[in-house]
Amino acid sequence: METAKNIGWIGAGVMGRSMAGHLMNAGHIIHLHTRTKEKAAVLLDGGAIWHDSPEQIARHADVVFTMVSFPKDVEAIYFGETGILKGTSAGMFLVDMTTTRPHLAERIHLAARERGAWSVDAPVSGGDIGARNGTLSIMVGGSKEAVTAVMPLLERMGKNIVHQGEAGAGQHTKMVNQITIAGTMIGVCEAMVYGRRAGLHMETVLRSIASGAASCWTLDNLAPRILARDFEPGFFVDHFIKDMEIALEEAARMDLSLLGLALVNQLYRSVKAQGKGNRGTHALILALERMSHD
């Protein structure tokens, strides 16, 4: 086991709880802060130490991980009046695993270096299943030295960990991931709507297509949930809308037109308008079903 460290962890949502738990199980001391303390009950019961602010977390930790919801949350947690950077000292490592804006990752990197610390942007893919199993795909941006230093900790949470380049590169890679997922999700959901309308037995259909050219993670993990009408979140609709809009903003900055992504984003906004923003991303089928009945 790697040498035990004082690790700060901020954010204990659907994925963050499991991710922090893996580090705790590896023998590290977890210093914890979340917006809603009740969500962290499992970690606190397991021995995590509560602190009242991100600044206090930084003052007690060698490495601080953040796994929150939106760019505005990242902004506040790092740059706020009681933010991480207020407590950051030389030699520390800051690792943001939130999916956020690439230029925000670059800004955190510069602020960390001004304090003699290091930052890494390390967004993840794999949802609640990957978080629980410690098999997340982690897309990493930052200097080689910083990435090497935090790699043993990342390896407790993921299996496919790839250093993509300098600060912000991890976030750009996550945008590529989310654009791919958006296209895949609409394909899977439209296929399910078509198959049902054609009178097919969809469990049987999946047995045929899931091992052919259509095979993908979404078919394996989310199509069965759709069939069971289980829309509990592995990843929230609201958060996916946030990710798609970051990708669309970044595309505009690069003078790119991503028409497919724009369409899927609008369909997800329809899901949100149905009051399903807190459902899993596979709830996209609800918008398509409504359209097919109109």
Of 166, 190, 206, at which residue does a domain stop? 166
Please tell me whether residues 28 and 158 are part of one structural domain.
Answer: yes
pLDDT tens digit string along 149-178? 999 999 999 999 999 999 999 999 999 999
The set of catalytic residues is: 174
* Token pair listed for 139: 């897309």
Please tell me whether residues 133 and 206 are part of one structural domain.
Answer: no
Nearest to 15 by CA among 174, 130, 100: 130
Q: What is the pLDDT of residue 38?
A: 87
pLDDT tens digit string along 178-208? 999 999 999 999 999 999 999 999 999 999 9
Beta-ladder partners of 173: none
Question: Is residue 70 domain-resident?
Answer: yes
Domain CATH code at residue 251: 1.10.1040.10
Where residue 292 falls among pLDDT bands split at 50, 70, 90? confident
Of 114, 149, 166, at which residue does a domain stop? 166
Q: What is the pLDDT of residue 2?
A: 66
Q: What is the pLDDT of residue 14?
A: 86
Distances (CA, A) of 90 to 51, 83, 85, 240: 21, 16, 11, 35
Please tell me whether residues 13 and 130 are part of one structural domain.
Answer: yes
Range of the domain at 260: 172-293
Per cent of the chain over pLDDT 90 is 92
Q: What is the pLDDT of residue 294?
A: 59
Question: Is residue 1 domain-resident?
Answer: no
Residue 72 · residue 97 · CB < 8 Å: no
Query: Would you say residue 147 has pLDDT above 80?
Result: yes
Please tell me whether residues 268 and 129 are part of one structural domain.
Answer: no
Total number of domains constituting the chain:
2
Please tell me whether residues 99 and 177 are part of one structural domain.
Answer: no
Please tell me whether residues 15 and 159 are part of one structural domain.
Answer: yes
SS3 (DSSP) at 124: strand
Section 72-87 average pLDDT: 97
Query: Would you say residue 1 has pLDDT above 60?
Result: no
Section 9-19 average pLDDT: 94
Residues in the chain: 294
Please tell me whether residues 141 and 212 are part of one structural domain.
Answer: no
First to last CA, the chain: 58
Please tell me whether residues 137 and 231 are part of one structural domain.
Answer: no
Q: What is the pLDDT of residue 256?
A: 97
Question: Is residue 128 domain-resident?
Answer: yes
Q: What is the pLDDT of residue 39?
A: 86
Buried residues in 132-141 as b, exposed as e (16+ CB within 10 A): bebebbbbbb
3-state SS, 3-38, equals: CCCEEEEECCCCCHHHHHHHHHHCCCEEEEECCCHH
pLDDT tens digit string along 212-255? 999 999 999 999 999 999 999 988 999 999 999 999 999 999 99
Section 1-12 average pLDDT: 83
Distances (CA, A) of 284 to 70, 205, 292: 20, 20, 13
Please tell me whether residues 159 and 34 are part of one structural domain.
Answer: yes
**Tokens 């089928």, located at residue:** 285
Domain CATH code at residue 99: 3.40.50.720
Buried residues in 197-214 as b, exposed as e (16+ CB within 10 A): eeeeebeebbeebeeeee
For 134, which DSSP code?
A: T
Query: Would you say residue 75 has pLDDT above 70?
Result: yes
Please tell me whether residues 145 and 221 are part of one structural domain.
Answer: no
- Tell me the whole-structure pTM to 2 decimals: 0.93
Please tell me whether residues 100 and 202 are part of one structural domain.
Answer: no
Q: What is the pLDDT of residue 4?
A: 64
